Chain A
Amino acid sequence: MKMDRLRLPAKIALFVVFGVLLFTTAALASGNEAVTKAVASAGAQMAEGATHLGAATGVAWWVWPLVLLFFCFILGIVAVLAGVGGGVLYVPLVSGFFPFHLDFVRGAGLMVALAGALAAGPGLLKRNFASLRLAMPVALIASSCAIVGAYLGMALPTNVVQLCLGGTIMFIAVLLLLSKNTAHPVVTKQDALSMALGMDGAYNDPATGELVQWKTHRTLPGLLLFIIIGVMAGMFGLGAGWANVPVLNLLMGAPLKVAVGTSKFLLSITDTSAAWVYLNKGCVIPLMAIPSIIGLMLGSFVGVRLLAKAKPTFIRYMVIGVLLLSGGKALMKGLGI
């Protein structure tokens, strides 16, 4: 037992060191941005330029998927420990420090968030932590708007999207820092719309063994906010758990477990619509998207096992710091600095 306690920090430290090493390798290898930009503007000489780019980076094709697999594995662990979705870390970090264009990072980011949500969905639904009746109206609004967001993201110039992404990431960091979700919000009166849609229910809390009854209020403003959340999810490929949970929990009054569970399930629907847009536009490159998905899912499984022993508060602050840094980098990229 004592040995296990001693081993855990060493394991985490090893993961972090390994992640930092891989990350540094990736950052160094991707440091040839000037060449990349020059090649992009070469017009008719694109093919020749691309060949030159390959020679300049000098990295074998198989290095990137491997680095991405390990990087996303670490990201999956950190995301679970920090209580955020994989997509929200994946997009800013990979677009900031890997040589992939933002178009492909957003496409892969959506697939990462989608795969995680689809895998988690069945367990959440069966335990009643995710409510189908709460999710359906919200999902219809968010998924329709995610399509609009995806097209907006594809139509706007890359630097504008980078700027908006940077601003959003920094806002998320501040939101994570300031928001204090409530385990059981007090809902004195269920509103008419919530009653009409049947947005109430109950779940058995395994922590206390109690049957927790819940209902929602402020349903209309909540639903309206999902218009914005849907657009942002589609536009940046971030997933939207960071926004879903506070709206469901703090505004609409769903218990935290139901808000988190329903949010994760919601992502499987919202991200589906945006993922199709990116897929149809050719923004999903399997060579980079699949190791990202697999790495993040494996990391999430390990993260869940570590969750009981690790210190999530420290990791949460670390993630906030990383988000601020990557948000700043995205802003600088958008400004051409």
Chain B
Amino acid sequence: MSETMKHNGKASPEQVTYANILFYGAWGGLAVMVVTYVLYVTGIVTPHVPLDQIPLLWSQPVHTYLTLGNVPHGWGWVRLLGKGDFLNFVGIVLLAGMTIVCYLPLIPAFLKRGEKGFALMALAEILVLSLAASGLVSGGGH
């Protein structure tokens, strides 16, 4: 980054690009979340786990919730997108996926300026977040 660009108090072009993508993605995700939630709680879209059953399950560990509610883990919810409760995951996933989307344009932007280190850092971050999103790394659960 040039010294003048860095020290004139203005955000760098890649920072502005990141901010613009984040703005539309975050607010879009929140809007989707509100709409799908209204569809869910009003019963317009039938849920997979009946609404009156959820308070019986949310005081239990996640394992019990998954078993008794017959709730899929990982990306299994995609198959149940037609159900009101899982429709809500569209907005949630949009929010959780925004950082990966915002990082993508950083790689060519840094490479163009010859900053290979930062391009690699952006790539590594995308890989870390994608690994977390994939659900490939498995761990214990209660």
A residues lining the B interface (CB < 8 Å): 36, 39-40, 46-47, 50-51, 53-54, 57, 59-62, 64-65, 99-101, 103-104, 111, 114-115, 118-119, 121-123, 125-128, 131-133, 136-137, 139-140, 143-144, 147, 150-152, 154-158, 197-198, 200-204, 211-213, 268-269, 272-277, 279-291, 293-294, 297
Is B59 in contact with A99, judged by CB distance below 8 angstroms?
A: yes
Is B141 in contact with A118, judged by CB distance below 8 angstroms?
A: no
Is B61 in contact with A276, judged by CB distance below 8 angstroms?
A: no
A36-B59, A287-B51 given. 4 additional CB < 8 A pairs?
Answer: A46-B67, A54-B53, A269-B125, A289-B92
- Asked whether any CB of chain A lies closer than 8 Å to the CB of B124, the reply is yes
Is A103 in contact with B142, judged by CB distance below 8 angstroms?
A: yes
Within the complex, what minimum Cβ distance (angstroms) separates A288 from chain B? 6
Is A286 in contact with B30, judged by CB distance below 8 angstroms?
A: no
What are 10 inter-chain pairs, A to B, with CB distance below 8 A? A36-B60, A151-B139, A152-B139, A202-B6, A203-B9, A269-B129, A272-B132, A277-B137, A287-B54, A288-B58
Count chain A CB atoms within 10 A of each CB in B29, B89, B139 and give the residue with the most: B139
Please name all residues of chain A whose beta carbon is closer than 8 Å to the beta carbon of B75 when the two chains form the complex. Answer: 280
Is A286 in contact with B26, judged by CB distance below 8 angstroms?
A: no
Please name all residues of chain B whose beta carbon is closer than 8 Å to the beta carbon of A115 when the two chains form the complex. Answer: 26, 30, 95
Number of A-B contacts (CB under 8 A): 232
Partner of A140, one of B20, B125, B131: B125
Partner of A121, one of B22, B135, B137: B22
Please name all residues of chain A whose beta carbon is closer than 8 Å to the beta carbon of B55 when the two chains form the complex. Answer: 54, 57, 59, 61, 64, 99
Q: What is the predominant secondary structure among interface residues of chain B facing chain A?
A: helix
Is A293 in contact with B33, judged by CB distance below 8 angstroms?
A: yes
Please name all residues of chain A whose beta carbon is closer than 8 Å to the beta carbon of B99 when the two chains form the complex. Answer: 268-269, 272
Interface residues of B in 93-136 (CB under 8 A from A): 93, 95-96, 98-100, 117-118, 121-122, 124-125, 128-129, 131-133, 135
Interface residues of B in 15-67 (CB under 8 A from A): 15-16, 18-20, 22-23, 25-27, 29-30, 33-34, 37, 40-41, 51-62, 64-67
Partner of B62, one of A54, A101, A140, A268: A101
Please name all residues of chain B whose beta carbon is closer than 8 Å to the beta carbon of A152 when the two chains form the complex. Answer: 139
Knowing A128-B11, A272-B129, A273-B128, the reply to whether A282 touches B33 (Cβ < 8 A) is no
The residue in chain A whose Cβ has the minimal distance to the Cβ of B16 is A126
The residue in chain A whose Cβ has the minimal distance to the Cβ of B131 is A147
Is A277 in contact with B33, judged by CB distance below 8 angstroms?
A: no
The residue in chain B whose Cβ has the minimal distance to the Cβ of A56 is B56
Please name all residues of chain A whose beta carbon is closer than 8 Å to the beta carbon of B19 when the two chains form the complex. Answer: 121-123, 125-126
Partner of B56, one of A54, A203, A211, A284: A54
Is B26 in contact with A121, judged by CB distance below 8 angstroms?
A: yes
Partner of A40, one of B18, B58, B60: B60
Is A285 in contact with B54, judged by CB distance below 8 angstroms?
A: yes
